[in-house]
Structure 1
Amino acid sequence: MLKDKLQHTQTDAEIKKRENFTLQLRSQQMEEQLEKCKKMLEELKGKLELQKEGYERQLSLITGKSYGTRGTSTSQKHQELIGSPDIHYWIKHQLLDEGVLRKLEMGLLTVEEVRASLVHRTDKPATVAGLYVESSKKKMPFLEAAAKGFLAKTYALEFLEAQAATGSLVDLATGETVSVAEALEKGIVDLSMKEKLMEAEKAVSGYISKGRKLSVFQAMEERIIDRFKGKKILEVQVSSGGLFNPETGMRVPTFIALNDGLLSKETQQSLHDPVSNPKGFHSPDTGQRAYYDEILKTCLYDINGSVFLVPFGERHLTNTSPMSPHRMSVVNSSCGSEMSVYEAFKGKHINKKTYLFLSQQESNWQENSLVDPSGNSRHFIADARSGRQLCLESALSQRFLEMSEFESYRSGLLSIYEIADIIFSRRVVVEDVNSPIAGLWDITRKKRLSVLQGLQQGVTDRVTALRLLESQVCTGGICDPSTGEKHTLSDALKRGLLDEALKQQLQQFEEAFNGITHPQTGKVLSVFQAVQENLLPKDVVFRCAEFQLLTGGLINPDSKDRVCLEEVIQSNFVDKATATLLKDEKFQAQSLTCPKTKRRITFKEALERSVFDCHTGLRLLEATKVHAFGAKTAFHYLCAFK
């Protein structure tokens, strides 16, 4: 009996133990769930706080509270912003995103810049309206150009369909926009085009399906229109100002379109993918296929009608070149005048809103700062598109910029685009005839690249990059083509003009420029004296001599003056046999690969092919990237072994 009771007691104890363990486990699980709930509540609270801040910020803009511009309180400016019915409308409909509002609050954007960014949403679409014939300096409608044989009628129809897909056709005679029906009535377009243009106009009015008006993207998803056709229309609408919501009849920016189901992220990313969305337009000038966005960027703005025209001719007015500070961007077809955006603005041919909008199409200026080797903070404005950079402190000290103008910029009265144009209009850049190849000009992207950037982006090979950098170091320092400044190897490494491996390889060339210090006597020797003392390899000496002679003469390490070869011979720094070798062009090796043609060239040939940059006065070498043809198929390999 006692034994049974003992067993029963042990069994009860085990059961209670299990129950306690289960209760503890449940308690632990409940605590974990409680913690998760707390975290979820905290996250929700944080999101609500952010949303509240956003609403308060928008409300403050609507009700009149000011946040200042460029770090200074300027309530008048914000009252001006709020007082505009257009801006009020866009804030009300949440078409100014949080990022823009925050930048406005922090003073990183001015009122004018915000308005300029909204031009393509609040004004008529930025569509290609016709041709600008460079020879006659006159504008010409697409159909007239087709009739005169300037372009195929099918190409003309592409541009007219694009106009219809953005809401209206352009009457080039007046600059007014009209519907397809009105255009047919006025004889602006042929009756033969009616069906296609009416179909294109549905991109704005909507595609009717089951009693609903569908947008282009929605019609694509419902398979009402072909995906290739739909993507072509979407690319046009995005490029010209925004996607159309047929329910509201409004154009909306991409980020709103994504939220409203008018576009998907995947489709957005594929709009400029030549595989899933082939280029759907033809350049009237070259006949090459292009995206609408690419053609728009080459257009001129005609103040006679406020329309965008694609240039046609051999003058290539809108081409960006390192040899000219501004491209021609504005014309007046009524009198044949052609000018840059800044010239048009200063001449009061365009207002500030148009000036800022057009400037933003050409460049993307941003301000940044860095600490120089002396520990001083320097402020730069840099154009991400062209690779140009300007130091504001230098501009002030050189009187390219007045302090009053700088203060107006800081207070938001002058935009960053105006500051850049003011500095450029006053600078006088002299060509440096002794310049080595300071950098590369990417002819595809129309952008300045440092030699290292060219190497990293695949427009030049490492050996060529090394030779170009050697020529820079032994003639004064590593060149920064964005500013025109020259730097020591250590400084260039900090500024991202070199990598560590290149720095090590260039060490001897910097010593050659500064002079080689004799380890026993402490005397500073020239490269030829150093080679006689076996302090420098002969190949380094000959390359230094070649680079220096071709850029103006051998450099005296003490005075840094240039001296001709004859003077060096007379000074007994070099023997006649070596001098004869240096004079002989056969001695010059084809040590470079041309970044443009990809053919082997000498350093002398590289200098002859280079162009002087109007921004710095230094030489740039044109470059382009060779695109791979992709993987070979089995057919290619089969043919190769036949």
Structure 2
Amino acid sequence: ALQTGEITVKYGRFKGKHTTLWDLINSEYLSEDKRQELFKLFRLRKITVEQLTVTILEIIKAKEIKQQEELYLEGLRGKVSVLTLAELGIVDEKTYNDLIDGKTTSTNVMNMESVRNYLRGTNCVAGVILQPSNQKLSIYEAQRSGILTPGTALCLLEAQAATGFIVDPLRNKKFTVAQALKENMVGPQMYEKLLSAERAVTGYRDPYTGHTISLFQALEKDLIVRQHGIRLLEAQIATGGIIDPIMCIHLPVEVAYKKGYFDAELNQILSDPTDDTKGFFDPKTHENLTYSEMLSRCKDPKTGLLLLPLNTEASHELHTDEQIEFALKNKIITLNVGTFTGKDVSVWEVLLSAYISEQKREQLIQQYRTKTLTIEEIIEIITAIVTEVSSKEKKFKGLRKQVSASELYESKIISKELFSQIIQGEITPDKVTKMESVQKFLGATNCIAGVRVESTKKVMSIYEAKSKGLLTPGTSLILLEAQAATGFVIDPVNNKKLSVEEAVAQGVVGQEWKKKLLSAERAVTGYKDPYTGDTISLFQALTKDLIVKDHGIRLLEAQIATGGIIDPVHSHRVPVQVAYQRGYFDEEMNEILSDADDDTKGFFDPNTKENLTYLQLIERYLIVKDHGIRLLEAQIATGGIIDPVYS
């Protein structure tokens, strides 16, 4: 009965062949116990031929899948299953099937160039070769011998670490950074920097989620200096492809796109190299190069390793203009003062900043050129200058606290030239504050401050207008929340700007609304993130569902309509592009607010009974008193005023 009829199997050694159920049940896929169990069930007619066929095919499938999963090839930091490589398109279907069917071996597959390049990468710059002697040296040995400058050597070693391993070109061996230190392949002074570069292989830790992320993702989240990150990323691409830190293998570009490890914008930057992306220096020709260009100049000796050819004499010609710029660009320091707070920056960036005068900059560079000063001594000098200037930095009055000149510069509210004039004492803070381009970000507001009765021309606060029945409670509350969320509660009679606490104390608003207005005021002072404890903006609170969406959109629209989104950390408004960068706004929300419909028209015109955006309401009522405040013209409507909140 079991030898009658043919069965087609999709897995294992029977794959694609026509065989019988008898052959399958007697194959190596079934243990003797399982075989006898199935025979018994069939004899007792407790299982049909069809059921027996299904059962055996499932056993074969399960064993084959398990076997496939247990087939691994060696990656940069461990083994990767062949099944995963097939899914990524690194191992093609034919090779995969041949491996599963036993027609080829793991070693053969591993040695295929198309596979090996992704698993282990192609060759990096392994060392130098001196001409005319053809003497080979490791990068670190070349530095210790004075053939390479410390900056050039560090860049080449970082590229090694970021593409897989530190290389010993004499013994043709590869080491992790920790192993390389023990083997004296790198020095202790560069160990931490190389460990950081090695994270381009093993992954960076996202401080917000705790997840392991790639080099590109770390670059996007500003966890590494952009210029430094681009240099390492370009080295990865030049040596096999972008590295997946989870599997520790190079990826095809299209797979890297899908995983979010690369994007078209950065691909375009790296495809059209400029001096900013040429992060490697050729000490022989004094040129800045991409890593790919550097590799093309290397020799491939018998070991198969790429070595940078150098003339012994030329290698000692240090401190040319190109080398000065390259060395200073690649020396990263942490200052944590002024505009550099919380950033790692290059010495070159600091020298070109507003803190260093042009005369001082030229003097320091000339002293470095003539070897009168070392980079370390330059760092001491510029650190002292920046620290001293920052300690005397001018302050400006923000919405709730003082704002530094460096913060205005970082927020793109003032230019580098104006910032330089401020910190050098060439212009006073008072004069800067009066500039319209600055004033609108520091605290100026165009909110609806109060009400003017059309018949009598009497001016009153929003709350007083509510108390006299000119505005409904709902309309009044929404207008007062807009005031609180855009800076201050306004007393239009006495021309005062007040915090909610002050407004309640002075009777400008009633005690019954204090809680609601304090909540709206957090759009200025900031919300507390319950997960991190950090101060976050109105938009961030909205995206984290800490406030009701309609309410949050109304307050956000009021901020934009009255001068710009408020940064609660630094207590001032910011330009739109800065709001994007700081996560205080995004394209989707901009689209929602730009296409106003009933859902975004959160304000009510009591005169026309229309729902409007705050901007529409402001534009409609352009009545301004001498001291420059906007007032809502109140007309007494027959039949009473409609309350949009309480209907």
TM-score, normalising length: structure 2: 0.32
TM-score, normalising length: structure 1: 0.33
Larger Rg: 2
